[in-house]
Structure 1
Amino acid sequence: MPGGAIAVGDGLGANAPKNRFAGILMTAFAAFGGILFGYDTGTISGVKVMPDWLHTFGHPTPDDPKFSYNITTGQESLVVSILSAGTFFGALLAAPMADYVGRKWGIVASCLVFSVGVAMQTAATEMPLFAVGRVFAGLGVGLVSCLIPMYQSECSPKWIRGAVVSLYQWAITIGLLLAAVVNNATQNRDNHSSYRIPIAIQFVWAAVLAGGMAFLPESPRWLIKRGRLDAAAAAMSRLTGASPNDPVVREEIRLIADNLEAERALGETSYLDCFRPSSNKIAFRTWTGIAIQGWQQLTGINFIFYYGTTFFLASGIKDPFLITIATNVVNVGMTLPGIYGVEKFGRRSLLIWGAVGMCVCEFIVAIVGVTVSVDNIAGQKVLIAFVCIYIAFFASTWGPIAWVITGEIFPLQVRAKAMSLSVASNWLWNWAISFMTPYLVNPGAGNADLQVKVFFIWGSTCACCILFTLFCIPETKGLSLEQIDLMYQNSTPFTSHKYRARLFADEEVGHAGKGHHDEGSEEKV
C-alpha cells in the first residue's frame, strides 16, 4: 500500500520486557470464550440421546430395541444444525459490533445474547422453544467466535501471536471435553435435570468470560481506528507494562496509524471492497479466509463431536459416552503440540502435514468400517484408534491454525468485515454438515445410509485441503500484522518464505520499512 509503514521491533509489547507477559496473560484469557463454543457443541451430542430428553421432546418407538422414545431424522437435524444457523448470522453481526461497540465490549454483549439462549433451552419442555433457544445461543457463539480471535490478534505480540490465538482452539477442545464429562455424569438421571444441568452450566462460562473481559483493555488498533490515540496509548501501556508516553509505545501507535491511513487512502471500507481486486490483494485474502474456515469444517471433525455418540453406538461400541470422553481427551491433549508448533514450525507446513495425516487416517477408518463386522472387537478397536489419531492430527494443525490465519491476514481497515465473512463461512459449512449428516449416515427411507462410509467423503476433502494450503496460504510466522500486509503485496504463497526472510533481515540491519516497501513494489520476490 502506498506510503505504508512497516512495524519494526518485536511487535506489540515485545519491546517492553519488564511486564510483557502480563499482556500475554490478558489476551490469553480472552481464549476462554472457546469454552462457550466447545461446550455448547459437545453438549448436544450427548443430550439428544439421553432417555429423559427423548421422552420430553420425542415420540414413542416401541419397536426400537435401544430407545423407547426417539426423534425423527428431521428433528435430529434441526436440533443440531439450528445452532449453526444462529452462529452464521452472529458471525456476520460481529463486524458492526466490532467496529462500533469495540472488540472488548462486543465480547461482553455476546455473552448476554448467549445467556438468553441458554435460559430458553433450560426452561424448554417443547421442541419449538428449545430450538429458538439454540438459535439465540448460536448468535452469541457466532459473535464470540469472530470477536475473540480478532481481539487476540490485535493485542498479542507478534512473536507469540499464533500461540495465543491457538489457545482459543484449545479452549474449544476443553469445552468439548467438559461437555462429554458432564453428559456422562447426568445421562442416567430419570428427570429433566439429566439434560438441564449440562445446559445450565453454560451460564457459568458466559459469566466468567463477560466478567473477565470487562477488566481487560480494549484493542489498541481499534482505538486508533476510532481516532482515540491517547486511549490507545493507555491500552498499549497495560499490555506492555511501559508508560503511555514511552517512545516505544508512541512509535508503535504511529506505525499502526500510518498503515491505517494508507489503507484508507485506498478506499477499502465496505463489504464490497473485501472482494475487489487491488494492490493489497484484499480479495484474495478474503477468499482465503472464507475458504480456510470452510475446509476446516470439511475435514469432518464435527461429525465426531456432533454425532460421535450416535456413530459409536451404531458401530457396536458398548459405552459410546466413554469413547466420546476419550476422543475429547485426545482433542485437548493434542492441541498443545499445535500451540507450540505454530510458532516453532510455522503455519503453512503444519497445515500441509496435518491434512496429509487426516486424509490417511480417514481412508483407513472408512476401509476398516466397510470390511470388518461390528461384532469384531479387534476391528472396532482399530477403528477407534484411527479416529483418535485423526483427531490428534486435526487438533495439532487445522484446529488452531485456521483461527490463527483468519485473525492475522486482513488489514485493519476491513479486518472486522473480512473476519466476519470468514467465520460466517465456518458456521455455514458447520450448519450444512450438521444438517446433512443424519441424512447421509442414518438408515431408513430417504436416507443415504452411508454410516462409516461417510469417512470416504472426509478423506477426499482432506486431500483438497493439501492443495488449498499449497496454493493459498503464505508463511506468516513471526511477522507483525503490518508486515503481513507488505508480504501479501510483494510475494505469493510459494515465495512467502523468501520475502519473510527479507523482512527479518531488514529489521536486523535497522532498515526503514518504507524504503523496503518501495523496493518490493518494483521487484517481486
Structure 2
Amino acid sequence: MVRFAVQKPAEDAGKAWPAIAIGLFVAFGGVLYGYDTGTISGILAMDYWQNLFSTGYVNTKGHKDVSPSQSSAIVSILSAGTFFGSLGSPFLADTIGRRFALIASSWVFILGVILQTAATALPLFLAGRFFAGFGVGLISALIPLYQSETAPKWIRGAIVGAYQFAITIGLLLAAVVDYATQYRQDTGSYRIPVAVQFAWAIILISGMLLLPETPRFLIKRGQHDKAANSLSKLRRIEPKHAAIESELREIQANHDYEMSIGTSTYLDCFRGPMLKRQLTGMGLQALQQLTGINFIFYYGTQYFKNSGIQDPFTIQMITSCINVVSTIPGLWAVDKLGRRPLLLWGAVGMCISQFLVAMLGTLTTGQDSLGNIIVYNVAAQKAGIAFVCIYIFFFASTWGPLAWVVTGEIYPLKTRAKSLSMTTATNWLLNWAIAYATPYLVNYGEGYANLQSKIFFVWFGACFICISFVYFFIYETKGWSLEEVDELYSEVTSARKSASWTPSTTFAQRQAVTSTADGGVTTAADVSESAPAEKPDLTSEQHSDGLSHHDENPTV
C-alpha cells in the first residue's frame, strides 16, 4: 500500500530539510518563467495596449490592434530568446558554477524587463521580450540542474517537480495582475504587469547569494574539500562524517570513470549509449509542448474571447488556478508511484480530454463569411471548458513536472549541463514553433488556416504519440541516486524492464576493486577509507564480467 507521506529512509544520515528547503527555494525561479510566459496573453487582449502598439491594423471588430503576424512575433520571440539562452547555459554552468550562473542569468532577465517596461512601440518591446527570454532560457536549464545535484534521491522527483509548480504559480500571478489592470487606460495597464517581474528576479538573486554550490560541480572542478563542506551544509552533518565521505566517494568514482574515457563535447551527447538518453530527454520535452498546454496560456484569453465567451479573463484565471492546484498531487506521486505510470496515464487522460474539446468545439460552433463566431452552443461551450480544465489537471499532475524531473536525472555528470541545455532548448524550440504558428493556424483570413477549435485535434494526435513514447522509452528512475541511474542505463536495454532493476555494485566499489587488480594503484575513490560493504563482495571473475559490461556500454 502507498503511504500518503514520502518518508526519509532510516539509513540516510543527517537532516533532509536543508536540501529540501534549498531545492524548493531554487524552484522559485520557475515563477519568472511562468509569469513571463503567462502575462503576454492578457496584455495582447488589453484595449489600451492594442491602441498604443497598433501599426494601423484593424481587427474584425473594427478595433485598432496588432496584426496576427505581429502578435505571433511578440509571443514567439520570447521563446526564440529562451532557445538560445538554454543552449548557452553550459558555458556558464561549467565555468562559474551552477549558483553564480543562476545569478548572472537573472540579471539578463532584468535587462529584458527594463526594455519592455520602457517600451511604447513594438521594436523596443520585442527587444525586451528577446532578452527576457534569453534570461529565462538560461534559468530554465540551470534550475533542474542545481536541484538534481543537491536533492536527496528519495525525494528528488518532488523537489525538481516543484519547479513546474512554481511555473504554474507564475502563470496564476500573471492572470491575476492582468485581470487587475486590464481596464486601465494608461501605460500602467501593461507596465505594471511587466514591472512586477523585477521583484521575482531580485528574490532569486538574493537567495542564490546565500546558498552553497552543488557538491557534484565542485567534484567536477577537483575541489574535494569544498564539495565536502557543501554536502555537509545540505545534510547538516560534519564534513568528515562517514556518510558524507561515502557519498562523495561515489560521486568522485563516477566522475573519474567518465573522465577516464575522455572529455565531453556536444557531439558526445549523441554518441554510443548516450544517444538513447539524449533523444529520450529531447523527445520528452518536445512532446510536453506538443500536448498544447501553452496554446491555452499564450492565446487562451483571446481564444475564449473569439469563441463568444463573455468574460475570457475570468476563464483564464480559473484555468491558471487549476494548473496550480493540480500540480500538488503530482509532486506527491512522483516519488511514490514512479515516473513511468504517471507519464503513461497522464498521456491517456490528456489524449481523451483534447479529443472531446476538439469534437465539442467543431460540431457546435459556426462562423459567418468574415470569420465571426455567430453560432455557438452555450452548453457545449461549458462542457468544452470543463474538458480543458480536465486536460490541465492531467498535464499539471504528470507531464508538467515530470518532464523536468526525468531530464534532470538521466544524464551523467560529465555531459549533464550540455545534455540538459539541449533538452531545454528543445522545449523552447517547440514552444517557439507553437507560439509562432498558432495565430496562422487558428485565425480567419487569407493565408490563415482558420482551424478554430479544430486545433485541438492536433494536440490530441500529439498526446496519442505520448502514450507510445512513455511505454517504449521512459525508464523508471524512482529512488535511485544520479550515479545509480547512470548504472541503470548501462545495464538495462529496455525501458519496460527498468522498474525491476536493482544496482549490483557502486562505482566506488568497482573502482576500489580495479585499484587492487592493478597492483594497488590509488584512485580518487581511495582518498578516505572504504565504506562498509552494503552488497556481497565481488569475486575476481564477477568483477571481470562487470568491467567488460561497462566497457561495452561506456557512459559518455
Please give the alpha-carbon distance, in whole angstroms, between the structure 2 residues aligned to 1:331 and 1:513: 49
Normalising by structure 1, we get a TM-score of 0.93
Please give the alpha-carbon distance, in whole angstroms, between the structure 1 residues aligned to 2:10 and 2:255: 19
- Per the TM alignment, residue 518 of structure 1 is displaced from its structure 2 partner at its CA by 6.2
Please give the alpha-carbon distance, in whole angstroms, between the structure 2 residues aligned to 1:470 and 1:483: 21
Tell me: CA distance 1:239–1:319, structure 2 relative to 1, closer, same or farther (3 Å). Answer: same
Alignment of 1:435-446 (within 5 A): 435-446=436-447
Give the letter for the 1:55 counterpart: N
* 1:494 paired to 2:496: yes
Alignment of 1:41-190 (within 5 A): 41-60=37-56, 64-65=60-61, 68-190=63-185
Aligned-partner SS, 1:316:
coil
- Per the TM alignment, residue 63 of structure 1 is displaced from its structure 2 partner at its CA by 6.9
Tell me: CA distance 1:514–1:46, structure 2 relative to 1, closer, same or farther (3 Å). Answer: farther
Please give the alpha-carbon distance, in whole angstroms, between the structure 2 residues aligned to 1:197 and 1:74: 25
Tell me: CA distance 1:480–1:11, structure 2 relative to 1, closer, same or farther (3 Å). Answer: farther
Superimposed CA distance per residue, residues 43-85 of structure 1 (whole angstroms, 9 cap, x where no aligned partner): 00100111111111114566743x6211111100000000000
Aligned-partner SS, 1:269:
coil
- Per the TM alignment, residue 380 of structure 1 is displaced from its structure 2 partner at its CA by 0.6
Aligned-partner SS, 2:415:
helix
* 1:314 paired to 2:306: yes
Superimposed CA distance per residue, residues 417-471 of structure 1 (whole angstroms, 9 cap, x where no aligned partner): 0000110000000000100000000111100000100000100000001111111
Tell me: CA distance 1:358–1:497, structure 2 relative to 1, closer, same or farther (3 Å). Answer: same
1:27 maps to 23
Give the letter for the 1:497 counterpart: A
Superimposed CA distance per residue, residues 226-260 of structure 1 (whole angstroms, 9 cap, x where no aligned partner): 00111101110110001111111112111101100
Please give the alpha-carbon distance, in whole angstroms, between the structure 2 residues aligned to 1:168 and 1:96: 22
Please give the alpha-carbon distance, in whole angstroms, between the structure 2 residues aligned to 1:14 and 1:308: 48
2:430 maps to 429
Aligned-partner SS, 1:343:
coil
Please give the alpha-carbon distance, in whole angstroms, between the structure 2 residues aligned to 1:255 and 1:470: 31
Out of 13, 17, 41, the residue aligned to residue 16 of structure 1 is 13
Please give the alpha-carbon distance, in whole angstroms, between the structure 1 residues aligned to 2:72 and 2:59: 22
> Contact 2:59 / 2:65 at 8 angstroms: preserved in 1?
no
Please give the alpha-carbon distance, in whole angstroms, between the structure 2 residues aligned to 1:508 and 1:359: 49
Out of 168, 176, 188, the residue aligned to residue 193 of structure 1 is 188
Aligned-partner SS, 1:100:
coil
Please give the alpha-carbon distance, in whole angstroms, between the structure 2 residues aligned to 1:147 and 1:209: 13
Superimposed CA distance per residue, residues 183-217 of structure 1 (whole angstroms, 9 cap, x where no aligned partner): 00000001000000000000000000111111011
Tell me: CA distance 1:30–1:225, structure 2 relative to 1, closer, same or farther (3 Å). Answer: same
Please give the alpha-carbon distance, in whole angstroms, between the structure 1 residues aligned to 2:388 and 2:544: 50
> Contact 1:94 / 1:147 at 8 angstroms: preserved in 2?
yes
1:391 maps to 392
Out of 279, 283, 287, the residue aligned to residue 275 of structure 2 is 283
Q: How many residues align?
A: 509
* 1:511 paired to 2:503: no
Please give the alpha-carbon distance, in whole angstroms, between the structure 2 residues aligned to 1:430 and 1:286: 19
Superimposed CA distance per residue, residues 469-504 of structure 1 (whole angstroms, 9 cap, x where no aligned partner): 111111000000000011000102011012148789
Aligned-partner SS, 1:484:
helix
> Contact 1:13 / 1:239 at 8 angstroms: preserved in 2?
no
* 1:334 paired to 2:321: no
Alignment of 1:249-328 (within 5 A): 249-277=244-272, 281-328=273-320
- Per the TM alignment, residue 149 of structure 1 is displaced from its structure 2 partner at its CA by 0.3
1:247 maps to 242
Tell me: CA distance 1:412–1:523, structure 2 relative to 1, closer, same or farther (3 Å). Answer: closer
* 1:344 paired to 2:340: no
1:202 maps to 197
- Per the TM alignment, residue 375 of structure 1 is displaced from its structure 2 partner at its CA by 3.1
1:6 maps to none
Give the letter for the 1:147 counterpart: L
Aligned-partner SS, 2:463:
helix
> Contact 1:163 / 1:340 at 8 angstroms: preserved in 2?
yes
Please give the alpha-carbon distance, in whole angstroms, between the structure 1 residues aligned to 2:8 and 2:224: 18
1:472 maps to 473
Please give the alpha-carbon distance, in whole angstroms, between the structure 2 residues aligned to 1:123 and 1:13: 55
Please give the alpha-carbon distance, in whole angstroms, between the structure 2 residues aligned to 1:177 and 1:130: 23
Please give the alpha-carbon distance, in whole angstroms, between the structure 1 residues aligned to 2:108 and 2:505: 43
Normalising by structure 2, we get a TM-score of 0.88
Tell me: CA distance 1:320–1:392, structure 2 relative to 1, closer, same or farther (3 Å). Answer: same
RMSD: 2.3
1:5 maps to none
1:481 maps to 482
> Contact 2:504 / 2:535 at 8 angstroms: preserved in 1?
no
- Per the TM alignment, residue 297 of structure 1 is displaced from its structure 2 partner at its CA by 0.4
2:458 maps to 457
1:212 maps to 207
Structure 2, unpaired ranges of 5+: 1-6, 366-374, 510-530, 551-556
Please give the alpha-carbon distance, in whole angstroms, between the structure 2 residues aligned to 1:500 and 1:385: 42
Give the letter for the 1:237 counterpart: S
2:371 maps to none
| Larger-Rg structure | 2
